[in-house]
Structure 1
Amino acid sequence: MFECVVKNWQGEQVGQKTFELKVAKEESASHIVHRALMRQMSNARQGNASTKTRSEVRGGGRKPWRQKGTGRARAGSIRSPLWRGGGVIFGPKPRDFSIQMNRKERRLALRTAFASRIDDMIIVEDFGSQLQRPKTKELVNAIARWGAEPDKRVLLIYCENNQNLYLSARNIANVKVFSANTINIYDILHAEKIIVTASAIDKIQEVFGA
């Protein structure tokens, strides 16, 4: 059971929010969170680095010079890896870096990581009605009133799709905005402050609950 103070748009404390998330046991929590983090980072790799072997490089079909009598070293192709412009020995080829992990484990890791950031979490009331139009300055001021410094990495989690919020936040360098059902473990751990709306907490319990 977790309990947090809820703040309004002006940054004043207006109540308490209690929520419950099933997390991993203490002895295995760091292990499962690390696995989920490594999975996300590995799955983000494109794996499309590619080099050509001597058989794939264009040209080099004719022997450059005869085998004996020139005084030079033997050479069979100008596309040998020893030559400039030749093939690459043991170079990278396209590969799949993705790692598999059970859905139950992924959700457990996400809940555990989210709960571990409770000390850096700020719960606020839904403020969709406060942003009648996209206004970056108003959102920056609100974030400061809530207790997050403008130069810190901030993760802002909301419940419903809010275009004005997205447009207001996209030009702030250190602020990332996610809906409650699209949060990920990397951004939860990377952020220095996490601002969550009260309805987003309920949505996280609903989507990622045990």
Structure 2
Amino acid sequence: MAIVDLYNMKGQKIGEQELKDEIFNIEPNLDVMWRYVDYQLSRRRAGTASTKTRAEVSGGGRKPWPQKHTGRARHGSIRSPIWRHGGVAHGPKPRDWSKKLPKKMKRLAIKSALSQRFREGNLIVLDDMKFDEPKTKNMRQVLSDLQLTGKKVLFVLPWKKTEYENVKLACRNISGVKAIIADNTGASQNGEVRVDGLNVYDILNHEKLVLTKDVVAKIEEVLK
């Protein structure tokens, strides 16, 4: 098994954490990771861009001038795409940009992203990460203690509870730092709904990945 140091929020090493090789130490599949990121970004597109064709622009029902004997080019409508204020030719229309990706590819992509950060030495595991209040200064202190100040950092938290929500809120005013709730199953823990979801884009978009022990256990349970 792969092994990483286990730290507390003060940056002190308090032990070691074992990681399953089949999840955190596989050969990263770059193609599958690219497909997952493309899948994620495509689903974010609103697809609401819309322009009017010549049939949808108001006016233009009458032929502007006779077909012949005027010395001018023939025209059938002042709402033709070649006219000012006319319709748009081949313009965007509302559409669904979302794509599909097989579950096996999603799982492989997440394993690949986790393994990529582990092999780079950019994976950090904490025993826990909780704040009593959502204060930015608390997060800045944690970043300083972990020697992560000035770096792009992704914190992954296990459940939607007040202590973890405070961590998420404390990150909002720090550039390059983000916290997400890990579970994306929609299941409940003590009656509370989980949100966000661990995803490849966020992992790859941040230099450092910080997990808690509970998150590691959940990842190994889901991706086994």
What TM-score, normalized by structure 1, do the two folds share? 0.90
**Paired residues, number:** 205
2:76 maps to 76
Deviations 1:121-176 (A, max 9, x none): 11112132xx2222210211111211212x32110111122222122222222211
Distance 1:156 1:179 in 2: 9
Q: Name whichever of 65-74 and 55-64 sits farther off.
A: 65-74
Where in structure 2 are the equivalents of 1:53-132 lying within 5 Å?
A: 53-118=53-118, 119-128=121-130, 131-132=131-132
Where in structure 2 are the equivalents of 1:14-29 lying within 5 Å?
A: 14-20=14-20, 22-23=22-23, 26=27, 29=29
For the aligned residue pairs, the C-alpha RMSD in angstroms reads 1.8
Q: Specify the code of the residue in structure 2 equivalent to 1:10.
A: K
Deviation, structure 1 residue 21:
5.1
2:180 maps to 178
2:158 maps to 159
What TM-score, normalized by structure 2, do the two folds share? 0.85
Distance 1:22 1:95 in 2: 39
Distance 2:51 2:31 in 1: 36
Relative to total residues, which structure has the larger helix share, 1 or 2? 1
Distance 1:33 1:124 in 2: 26
1:37 maps to 37
Q: Which runs of 5+ in 2 are unaligned?
A: 184-196
Q: Which runs of 5+ in 1 are unaligned?
A: none
